Amino acid sequence: MANNISEWSKSFLISAASYGFLFYANDWLTSTLAFSLGVNWVFLPAGLRLFLTLVFALPGAFGIAVASILICWFGDFPQDLVTCIGVGLVSGFAPYIARIFVLANLPISADLSDLSLQKLLMCILIYAFLSSGMHQWWFAIRGLGNTGTLNHFFVMFIGDVLGTILLIAVIKYGLDLLKKTRTIAL
């Protein structure tokens, strides 16, 4: 039992810390690509959201949610607790819902060992659609200015897809570089 709690806690903390770090790194790197409040043409943390929930499942979703609530509260969003909690829940649980949908409808093993490029692309598109739709719906419900329109949905969808693909490409390049460095060292 204690081991399960320890694993859950580690997964939660890794998710919250890495998501918070990448969110602020993305903000610094792509600030000129911001479309409006909470919407960016390239959003690298989208890829991390998908990755963390695919790997860590529920602890990943909760880690992202808590980090997002804090980012929202201390960021550009109105300091309204209900709005920030909603943004956090959407940020953490849209990719988790996408995970459930994908695992139930695509032939992918729970350990992701057979995740092909085609299946990964389906995961990315399903996640981006759910995340963009749920975020813009929540922004509209909360009456946040200059948000919640179809244009905002499309830009967020594109930003999530591009950010996820870029993050995966960087990770793949890094792993290939690491593998090449190890081969040369031997």
pLDDT of 21-55, one tens digit each?
999 999 999 888 888 878 899 999 999 999 899 88
For 118, counting Cβ atoms within 10 Å of its Cβ (0-12 exposed, 13-18 middle, 19+ buried), the class is exposed
Question: Quick one: pLDDT at residue 159?
Answer: 96
pLDDT of residue 84: 94
Q: Residue 119's pLDDT is what?
A: 84
**Dihedral angle over CA of 139, 143, 149, 151, nearest 10:** -70
Query: How far apart (Å, rounded) are the C-alpha atoms in residues 93 and 143?
Result: 21
As a whole number of angstroms, the distance between CA 6 and CA 47 comes to 25
Pairwise CA distance, residues 127 & 106, whole Å: 14
Q: Was domain 2-185 assigned CATH 1.25.40? A: no
Residues with Cβ < 8 Å from 78, sequence gap 6 or more?
A: 144
Domain residue ranges in the chain:
2-185
d(CA 173, CA 69): 31
What is the pTM for the complete model shown? 0.88
pLDDT, position 73: 94
Taking the C-alpha atoms of residue 146 and residue 124, their distance in angstroms, rounded to an integer, is: 26
pLDDT attached to residue 137: 95
Collect the ranges in the chain with pLDDT lower than 70: 1-2, 110, 185-186
Q: Quote the pLDDT of residue 114.
A: 79
- Give CA separation, 20 vs 14, 68, 107, 147, in Å: 10, 7, 32, 23
In this prediction, residue 2 carries a pLDDT of 60
pLDDT at 185: 66
